[in-house]
Each structure stands twice: as C-alpha cells, then as structure tokens.
Structure 1
C-alpha cells in the first residue's frame, strides 16, 4: 500500500516537473520577439505616431483591467491548462495581425487580441508553476522563468540585427512562427489540481484583497516603477538614442545586450537572501530613478546605455521578488483569481499613467523623462509606506 502511494506521488512529482520545464520552454520561445529592438520604428514606418502608440497601449491596459477577474475565475473554475491553451492561441493570432497591420485600426486589433491573451496568462502561468513546485523553490523558479523570457529575446535581438538590414517585415513574420510553436507546446501541459473547483467565491477573493492593504501598496509601487521601465526601456530610449546619433542598425545588438543583463533575474534569490527582499527592492527602485535622471540630463551614448542596462537589470530582479511575495500572501484557495485581482489593481494605475506619459511625449522627450522621474519618486514613497505597514503588522 505504502509502495503504491510512493509510486503515485513520484508520478505526480514527475508530471509537475514536466509542467515547469514546458513553461520554461514556452516563455523562452515567446521571448523571440524579433521586432522588439525596432518596435517603435516598425510602427512609425507603418504610419503610427508615438502618441498613437501610447493611446493603443492605454486601451490595451483598460481591456486587461476588465478581463483580469473573469479570466482568473475561468482559470480557477475550469483549470490552468485550458486557460493557458486559449490564451496562447490568441497570443499567436495577435502576432499574425501585427505582421499584417498597416493602420491604426489593425494595430489596435493586435493589442485587443493581446489584451485578451495576456489577461488570461496573467496570474495563471504563475499559479500553475506555483502549484507544480515546492514553496521553498518559488523565488528561484520564478527567477529562472523570467530569465528564460529574456534569454529568448537576447537571441532574437542578435538575429534581428541581421534581419533589419534586409527587411523590417521579416522580424514580425518570424516572431509569429515562434509564437505558433509555443501555443502548440501548451497542449502538452498537465493540469494541476485546482481546489474548490466547483465553486469560486469572487466576493471572498475581493474581500481578501481588500484586507491585504500592505500588498496593494506594494503592487501600486511596482506598477508605477514598471510603467516607467516600460515607457523608457521599450519606447523612449530608441528616440533618445537616435536623437544622440545612434545608428538604427545597432539596435538589435543593443537589445541583445540588454536581455543578457535581464537574465540576471535568475540570480535574484541569491541577492534577496543576502540583503533581504525589502532592501533589495529599495536598491532597485533607486537605481531605476537615477537611470531616468541620466536619460534626462545626459547625451553621452555609452553612459545612456549603461543607465538603460542598470534599469533593465533592476526591473528584471524586482519581478521574482514580487511574484514570491504575492503568492506567499495568498491564504485562500482561489489563487489564480486573487493573482488576477492583484494584476487588475496594478493595471488600473498603469493604464492611467500610460495615457499621461503618451500625452507628455507629444510635448518633448525631455518632458517624458521628467514625468518618469516624478513617477519614480511616488513609487518610492509607496514602497516606504509598505515597509512601514510591515513594521506595524509585525509588532502590533
């Protein structure tokens, strides 16, 4: 009898390990965004203004806010695997639309599809991983998961520097191929046991999140800092470097370098175990703030690239720590739903900030960086309030 139970436990453990390795492979393939290094230029050459890019991003954020809780409910009710299968198929379709897009409406459709996809994946991928591993391994696994996404983009960026010499279109086409393969691999995941599958209490989940005020402060702080990184390290840095005389041909190699830097997230657990999660977060927030200041005040290309690398590295290391904190904070069964509500709270703030950054970018690139610095200071204040709340909770 005991031997039979041992064999069953071993089989479950092997299946769960397969989930982890498959998720690693899926996120790695989805990192192959060959148009990433020239994303702004690609869109501009197909008729989009920078302000239009931010408007589309904002619409995408709003959709994700609306869809987060329904997708979380669906995942907890019908299973994480089914949710990821549907979401990754939509992700693949969005990349095909992106390749075909030549107008505002088509680029908007691409982001709408992407919003449906990302809101489905959001929380669900992490819930599946967390349910497939030992809790003590979570930060390490999340770090590797994040690093593999960056590793994919690193390789894609090197190849992209060759592709752009011949055709910008080919970068979008090849991206869709890799996303197609990733969507197929999702079918081979093994469903984990979802507790309370027949009845998901959304009111209980919302009440739980309302009572987790400290986590909400942290989510708001991270959402602000992530929005700054998204604006600067995805969109604005390309414009800044071009204004400083940087050659477009080298964007692929630069992005490859940045992804190599982001792979450092795989070692986040080493840093956080040495300094603690709170000190580590404070260090990363300050580095991102100082990097924005360098973008505003300097025109030296090597120094700007160093600032960009520090920003990307800090952002990459923040992610595993936050995922670990969020998951360990959840004491009720409907994990995917709670994670979706957490994500929704962050998305609400991000969408509002994104609109303002887009409007400010119409004034000047310098105005955008100034506004990003202001956002960083607000993020630091929220982080300090989170630390203060932790202190009082500990000694109350």
Structure 2
C-alpha cells in the first residue's frame, strides 16, 4: 500500500476541518440563541477541563488501538457538533457541543501528527516531516481565511443559519475523507507492546532524560500560548486603536496569511540555520514584539503584530519535528498529546495573568504581561543556548 496517499488525504481533511464559515459570526449566532457572555465563559471552562482530562488518555488509546480510527471518531463528533448547533436553543445544548468539541480536539491532537510522521516513515521520507506539517498548516490557514471572508458576506446577505448549514456540510465531507485514511504499520524499536500504565511513565522519563527536547517543546508551548492571546483578542486591540470594524475581516485574513511563509519555508530554514538559532530568534521577536505592543499605542504597533505572526509560522512544525524525530512510533500520539496538554496548561496559566493585568490596565497591560513571560523565557533560552547540559542537537534525527 502506498502510504504517501495519506498526505493528500490529510490535506483534504485539514481543509474541510477549517472550512467553517460559521466561526466568523459564531458569537453573534450564539447570542441570537440566548447565550450571554457569562454563559459563553461557562462553556469555555467546560472545553478547557475536557481537554485537560482527556488529552493524555486519548493519545495512549491512539497508540495502542488506531490513529485512523481516532481521527474518524473526531470527525463524527464534529458532525454532531454542527448538527446540534443548528437546533440549539438552551444552554445545555451549547454545553454538549463544547464538550464534544473538547473530546474531538483531544482525540485528534496526537493522532494526526502521528499518522503523518509514520506515513512518511514508511516511505523513507521522515526527514521531510517539518515540510509536510508546514504545508498541512498552510492548507488549514488558507481554508480558514476563505471561510472567514465568505462567511461574513453570506451571513450579512442570507442570515447566520446558512453559514452553519455550510459548516455542517463541510464536517460531513471531512467525515467521509477520514474513512479513506490508511493506518500505517508502526515501526517500533521496542521488543513488545508497552502496558497502559507504562505509557505515562515512559513519556515522563523520556522528557526527563532529554533536556534538549524539553527546551524545544517548551519553546513551542510558550510561543503558542503567547500567539493565542493575539488570536483571541486582536479585535480589542484594534478597537483601542480606533480602527473601524469594517476592516476587521481584512485584518483577520492578513494575520492568517502571514503564518504561511514560515510554514512553507521551515524545511529550508532548518537546513540553513541551527534549531537553537531559529528558536532563539523567534523567542526574541516574541519578547520584543509584545513589549512594543504594550508601550506603543499607535498604528506602528500593527507592524509588531504582523512580525509576530510572521515568525510564529516556523515554531509549530520545527518543535513538532524535533520531538517526532526522536521518539518511538509506538508512543508517537501519546508524546504529541503531552505536547498539546502542555500548551493548553501554559495557555491557562498565562491567561490568569493576562486577564488580571488586562482588567487593571486594559489590553495593553495584558500584552505587557505576555512580554514579561516571553522575556523571562528568552533569558532562560539564552542560558540554555550556551549550556552543554541543554545542548540542542542540530541534526534532523
């Protein structure tokens, strides 16, 4: 079987998963159905708790059972999410939807990368994992950008509900594509399967004994959490700059477009520069960029936002590739789930500080706190850069 075909199937799956025109008017639709801001916050808590509880167990199940089947389950849950939303009128309807979304995210987070890497491994192209993961992200960003632009137009012309029917159709097609994926044979270096209780222990032991991997993965967590606070709150920042709402759709498309070059060029960059240099440079840009956002309150700060988005495209495929090149296939989804869990944990912890400083000193104070966190991590990374104990290997495998 030619497992290279999994690549274009994963591309199609990612496109359909992100082709959701409903997201651009999601909060307005929920408000129309009776969901206040306070009720939305309750659903966000349900989502976060669901992911924290299920991230590692679902990764273990994927490694022991099947990565493809876990992605099929994720697609089925996505199908029911939009089906329920089309008829949702009560809080518990939306609570169920958010719970299903959390389960779906947990189920697919480690499985997708594991399926991609092992498919390339069977074709002796695992060294190109960063390139293909970057392309996968590009397809996702492009699809989301097109959905946002079309969704706002269709919602204004034909009403909110149409965007949800179109999103439901996209989820149905994604489910069909998930059935076409092929389960790659796992090339494990272990003599026999690991018992369930050993997965977590072995994963923690791996990170404990590989400080360089910890540093790279932690870099992805910190920068991933930081960029999340621009993703979620850039509208408020632009509002503080008194930019008219009519331009928000263009800014949304621009911010997604800026992530494309990093994902596209990551393969070239990692062959020209060391992992240490690339990650140190990204961390420095994040620290400086967020500091600029916090102290400069004019249109020039938009350039800082654009620069942060531009360099952020490199981090995810670079950090994921560094991890996957060094782990056994039998635990690939579990280890990736640890990375995802760590990202969510860092996001929640930094979110507490961001929320506190934003409430006390507005959005600029919140970004000042993120600049402080990124600055601290930059200092730590700089120390690790010259530390032999935390030396990051620059070879691909």
Q: TM-score range by the shorter chain?
A: 0.7 to 0.9
More relative contact order, 1 or 2 (CA 8 Å, 6+ apart): 1
Do residues 208 (structure 1) and 176 (structure 2) align? no
Single out whichever of 333-342 and 127-136 deviates more from structure 2: 333-342
Match of 1:179 in 2: 171
How do residues 187-266 of structure 1 correspond to structure 2 at under 5 angstroms?
187-194=179-186, 195=188, 199-200=195-196, 201-202=198-199, 203-233=201-231, 235-264=232-261, 265-266=263-264
45, 49, 54: which one aligns with 1:67: 54
Deviation at 1:321, TM superposition (A): 0.3
Match of 1:4 in 2: none
Deviation at 1:388, TM superposition (A): 4.3
For residue 139 of structure 1, give the secondary structure of its aligned residue in structure 2: helix
Match of 2:73 in 1: 86
Which consecutive residues of structure 1, in runs of 5 or more, have no partner in the other structure? Answer: 1-11
After superposition, give the CA deviation of every residue in 1:14-33 in whole Å (9 maximum; x if it has no partner): 2x111111001111222223
Would the aligned equivalents of 1:154 and 1:255 in 2 still touch at CA under 8 Å? yes
Would the aligned equivalents of 2:225 and 2:346 in 1 still touch at CA under 8 Å? no
After superposition, give the CA deviation of every residue in 1:305-354 in whole Å (9 maximum; x if it has no partner): 43332222222221110111110121473221222223323332222223
Do residues 162 (structure 1) and 177 (structure 2) align? no
Deviation at 1:287, TM superposition (A): 2.2
Deviation at 1:141, TM superposition (A): 0.9
* Residues 1:224 and 1:94: Cα distance change in structure 2 (over 3 Å): farther
How do residues 286-297 of structure 1 correspond to structure 2 at under 5 angstroms?
286-297=284-295
* Residues 1:390 and 1:69: Cα distance change in structure 2 (over 3 Å): farther
Deviation at 1:58, TM superposition (A): 4.9
For residue 21 of structure 2, give the secondary structure of its aligned residue in structure 1: coil
60, 63, 73: which one aligns with 1:76: 63
After superposition, give the CA deviation of every residue in 1:27-46 in whole Å (9 maximum; x if it has no partner): 12222232445556666676
Would the aligned equivalents of 1:140 and 1:266 in 2 still touch at CA under 8 Å? yes
Distance of 2:136 and 2:222 partners within structure 1: 22
Distance of 1:333 and 1:253 partners within structure 2: 43
How do residues 268-307 of structure 1 correspond to structure 2 at under 5 angstroms?
268-301=266-299, 303-307=300-304
